[in-house]
Structure 1
């Protein structure tokens, strides 16, 4: 059985592929189709927008954080159950962490699905022909099914673009006019995601625009291919543990694949460091990243939760704290305006957002004998005396990074957003193993 499945990509960032993706997800859902979204790369913000548009979880497909087999299995497991699968690319079509490696084109080849190009056609006419020819022929293993033109000035402008595309053998699928209402406001870590009503409204408006000028039926027809083979998930562990995961407005940068991996290990209870008074009973606690800086006053004022977290860590409970989670465990959080709030105080160092620059990129490190991979993206920096890192952190191209991974008792903390789903090692096992190694080394 064939089904429509495709990857939306572009020659460069800023072409509008996220809005096109959201519009298609919402439009196809409105047709009564079960549509499954995916996102190339490590982004944990666009995935949340996809979830609003499609009404279901969006999964990352990342060829640095997971291997090709893990990406194929993840895609097959989710896509098998859907009527249409839509993958949003990252950056430009051939932009990867090392030349083309890990790029949208590499993901499309790995999954054997076609791509649909979104081209920013502002101030372009027939010059789009050599652009399209280059992208369509640069790698013969990548199938370009068609092109959608964005920021088109008029119907006559589209006719010129259409003729150029047909001349080089790339099928034009339609066009989108510039519309200032079809915007999602940016902020320091990406698109606004907390206002679901605003995102929902943009999705509806974008879907109407796409429906008007893009031939959706033809898009589904030219992107139809063999349905993926069903892949079973691993059997749950026979030894179940109690897992507590922070999830609220301050802590929400969570890869769905990581949660599914945790579910294989035990039973998850979610809690809110903002509003709950204490930790649930747990054998392992996960504090993911998020926006603690936007909720610093509330977090600092919740003394009962601060004490509960501090007591858990101090008594040797196993915990993973990533980025915002690590910030929360520190002594203080200082905002851009200089206002400072006390935090948990388990670690002696604090965090400041004053005079901090953007730090981002893929990361990898050896924790004991296990290589862990993930991503770093933040506009803050640690201040105070930092403990020694338990591992050297490297970039995707093996250059040393200043990022540390800190272990105290059985609490592991870092700016590193770890990815352990889709074939990765159990973080519970890694923390137990590295804690034992560190304990032996201090004897």
Structure 2
């Protein structure tokens, strides 16, 4: 038995990330090893979780991953921890199609209770109706407690606590507004963990929670056994590879299980600073924020020349794909030369959000992943192969090119292949 629960909210913006980070740090202070998880495909939140908990944050996603893989990841990573915390995605019941892949679906699947974070700034006893709906809408989950956020007075909280009691949900406390624990947003989401003062923000969030939330009661209400799982992660029949992973301030959106699945040896390198490519079988350029480092990337001509001479296999996703293109234009209209390995030019001007799960069929091999970017192609590239189809979560065809040459697989999609490495390698090693 150990405390394990999912932090959810009725909608985005209720404060679940700040609460999650504060809880991770607070329980760590209590001497618990706390394992953080993230429901869904987000690659930034797990970076924050890793800093707050001192353990790597792990994605659990029932669209991109098989159910057996989700179970295996959860069991393996929580095994030596004293507690497990899953941060939900969007609203509790929001999924790719209705509830599919939602926080509620994951909580039911793993049999963990939910702690609901409610933005009660402009709400009083009406919270009873909201909590009643969330408690009874989906009977397969248990809402073990509620934390009321943005509540500034004990009298306000008293009304909210009475509302929760009338519905049969335990109120665990309330959090007054505190501006110095707010994590500001960047154009793709939260600020990155390396931003100045980040550790202090997490500590202040933990201090805030410890002052206002009954942590001992929360731990007591969320004690659950960890389900036994008999599955094991598949091994690639091709054998694992020596993989060079681009990793620095420009490229860092990585699902750790991807690297784990394909790499016998990992060599990290920086397109910003290094001038020599590692000696590997496969170069992996993940997404990130290349648009924030265009002068340095373009000025590192030694690295660009190394790439132009490289004859091995390359996997590139989103920002990595942009870097392999001919040029990137920043928001001001200035254009910077890139590697020129793909016949594309991308731009940060006239930004438009592209967001959602993706299914890619390449020669009838299925790869899954997620797309999240504001940049765009300056002109629509032509898909070279009719054997590549890109679909969204509903199975609708999308005009979102995926490039496949004799040595490159690239596109805006962030692939997930932690349980599907052979499919990815079959597409690369044709």
TM range (shorter): over 0.9
Quote the Cα distance in structure 2 between the aligned partners of 1:36 and 1:389. Answer: 44
Give the Cα separation in 2 of the matches to 1:114 and 1:386: 47
- Report how far residue 240 of structure 1 moved: 4.4
Structure 1 partner of 2:39:
40
Q: Return the match for 2:337 from 335, 342, 351.
A: 342
Determine the structure 2 residue equivalent to 1:408: 405
Residue matched to 2:320: 325
Q: How far does residue 369 in structure 1 lie from its aligned partner after superposition?
A: 3.0
- TM normalised by structure 1 equals 0.93
CA drift of 1:199 comes to 2.1
Give the one of 259, 267, 270 matched to 2:268.
Answer: 270
Q: Residue in 1 aligned with 2:309?
A: 311
1:71 aligns with 2:66: no
Stretches of structure 1 that go unaligned for 5 or more consecutive residues are 437-443
Q: How does 1:4-19 map to 2 (within 5 A)?
A: 4-19=3-18
Aligned to 1:246: 246
Q: Counterpart of 1:439?
A: none
Count of equivalent residues: 427
CA RMSD of aligned residues (A): 1.6
Cα pair 2:120 2:151 within 8 Å, conserved: yes
Answer yes or no: is the 8 Å Cα contact 1:307–1:344 preserved in 2: yes
Pairwise mapping of residues 387-406 of structure 1 onto structure 2 (< 5 A)?
387-390=382-385, 391-406=388-403
**TM-score of the aligned structures, taking structure 2 as reference length:** 0.96
Matches within 5 A, 1:49-198: 49-198=48-197
Conservation of the 8 A alpha-carbon contact between 1:389 and 1:404: no
**Cα deviations across residues 313-360 of structure 1 (Å, max 9, x unaligned)?**
xx3x11101011111111111101011111001122211111121111
Structure 1 CA distance, aligned partners of 2:195 and 2:55?
A: 14
The answer to whether the 8 Å contact 2:37/2:87 transfers is yes
Q: Using the alignment, how far apart are the partners of 1:297 and 1:74 within structure 2?
A: 39
Which of the numbers 415, 424, 427 marks the counterpart of 1:427?
Answer: 424
- 1:233-258 CA-to-partner distances (Å, cap 9, x unmatched) read 55687844321110000000001111
**Counterpart Cα distance in 2 of 1:383 and 1:235:** 40
Deviation of 1:368 after TM superposition, in Å, equals 2.0
Cα distance in 1 for partners of 2:91, 2:171 equals 19
Once residues 365 and 235 of structure 1 are traced to their aligned partners in structure 2, the CA distance between those partners, rounded to angstroms, is 22
Poorly superposed stretches of 4+, deviation over 4 Å: 230-238
Match of 2:107, SS? helix
Report the counterpart of residue 2 of structure 2 in structure 1: 3
Distance 2:81 2:395 in 1: 38
The gaps in structure 2 that reach 5 residues or longer are: none
